[in-house]
Amino acid sequence: MKKKRKTAGDERTAWFRQAAFGMFIHWGIYSIPGRGEWVMLNENIPPEEYRRFARQFDPKRYNPEEWAALAKEAGMKYMVLTSKHHDGFALFDSKVSDFTSVRTAARRDLVAEYVKACRRAGLKVGFYFSLPDWQWPAFFNGREKDPAGWKKYIAYVHEQVRELCTNYGRIDILWYDCMIAPGRRLDTADDWQSKKLNAMVRRLQPHILIDNRSGLAEDFDTAEQGLRASEPGRLWELCLTMNNHWGWFAVDPLWKPTKQLVHALTACATGGGNFLLNVGPKPDGTIPVQSVRILKEMGQWLKVNGEAIYGVERSSFSTGTAGCASERGRNIYIFVHWWPGSVLTLPKVDFKVRSARILGSSRKVVLERRGQRLILKNLPGKAPDDLTTVIVLERRK
């Protein structure tokens, strides 16, 4: 069979296909009230009142190098920071706005510091950017009701994206976000002039990957808070919170168990997608201790089991009652979520198996054929890894 020739597009997306795991960061002046990133809209706070939070936002303990070090320890390969969320407050220097971290209490370009920290740590750099902006009445009025206001608003949005793609060197991901404004339809690619916008982005950042939330398919799909794998051949990513909120929410104690998040990571690997796991830093710039603990535990798991996660392909292999699987070359990686004891039955194995091994263990796995079934024997009675144990099947050539 003739080998498929790689294209420029393949080379541009190769790192994303290998990365598997990234850190999402929702941070802004909404961390001051500490009731989530939608607090302005959810509590109907007028823009002039909401802007007062910027006078208090002076994150003395913000150290993005600590963030990047934590991401590395967790086994993450890239980071995506909210350069500007729906509330309109920018963490970067913008010539078209005074509602920024540079022109308010912080007096710092927080994005510039973040970019530098990512690069020093060898992590790919991502910018989240909200197309909606609650500071603009035109966003709520819409293009049809306020065409003149909408035109000015779109020029503003395009200029801020241009600044992000011009002022910080090479950027690897542009992660747009959108939303439905109360009382009207979801804005379209035509409304955002996305074709023009993204053409500008690609001129400025030829290697960048762009998500699908500007209304155009672009490079990758984004599933939010629920796993939805894209069609084979399409890049995709699941973004998920550690508790129930994206931005810092002081009284939300519902932290997901690390085991649940490892299961989400394995499900992404099974579907050939990436996992973008969120942290919501506090107003002072520190990441909550619960998030730190979870990320370190996931990093320890990946030190043992990373070969089953990074650079793998989607798999339709049936694990029966065990869990799910990923593949690379001749190897099938079985994520055993529900440890069966000393014997595991795989229901349909229609290929010859050379061997089986448990990642992180020297225990010999005994194989027995019973028709289409493959029986794995001599397993430990208790799961070797409480989060998820991985068994590797190696096909014969």
Quick one: pLDDT at residue 206? 97
Q: Domains plus CATH for the chain?
A: 8-308 (3.20.20.80), 323-395 (2.60.40)
Are the CB atoms for 82 and 25 separated by under 8 Å?
yes
**pTM, two decimal places:** 0.96
pLDDT for residue 172: 98
Q: Indicate the residue type of 297.
A: E
Residue 4 has pLDDT above 70, yes or no: no
- What tokens does 347 get? 């229901």
pLDDT of residue 230: 86
CA-based angle 137:195:13, to the nearest 5? Answer: 115
- What is the residue whose two structure tokens read 């939805």? 228
As given in the structure block, the two tokens for residue 76 are 């993450």
Give residue for tokens 């955002």. 192
pLDDT surpassing 50 at residue 7: no
Give residue-wise pLDDT tens across range 91-140.
Answer: 999 999 999 999 999 999 999 999 999 999 999 999 999 999 999 999 99
Strands 323-328 and 220-224: unpaired
CA-CA distance, 177 to 82, in Å (whole number)?
10
The whole-number pLDDT of residue 67 equals 98
Tokens linked to 299 = 């990093």
What's the pLDDT score for residue 3? 42
Residues 13-56 have pLDDT tens digits of 999 999 999 999 999 999 999 999 999 999 999 999 999 999 99
- Asked if 395 and 330 touch (Cβ cutoff 8 Å), the reply is yes
Report pLDDT digits (tens) over 354-386.
999 999 999 999 999 999 999 999 999 999 999
Cα–Cα distances (Å) from 6 to 1, 202, 313, 314, 317, in that order, read: 15, 20, 17, 19, 27
Query: What pLDDT is attached to residue 6?
Result: 45
At 200-236, the pLDDT tens digits run: 999 999 999 999 999 999 999 999 988 888 888 899 9
Q: How far apart are CA 321 and CA 340, in angstroms?
A: 9
pLDDT digits (tens, 9 = 90+) for 80-94: 999 999 999 999 999
- How sure is the predictor about 397, in pLDDT bands with cuts at 50, 70 and 90? confident
pLDDT at 2: 37
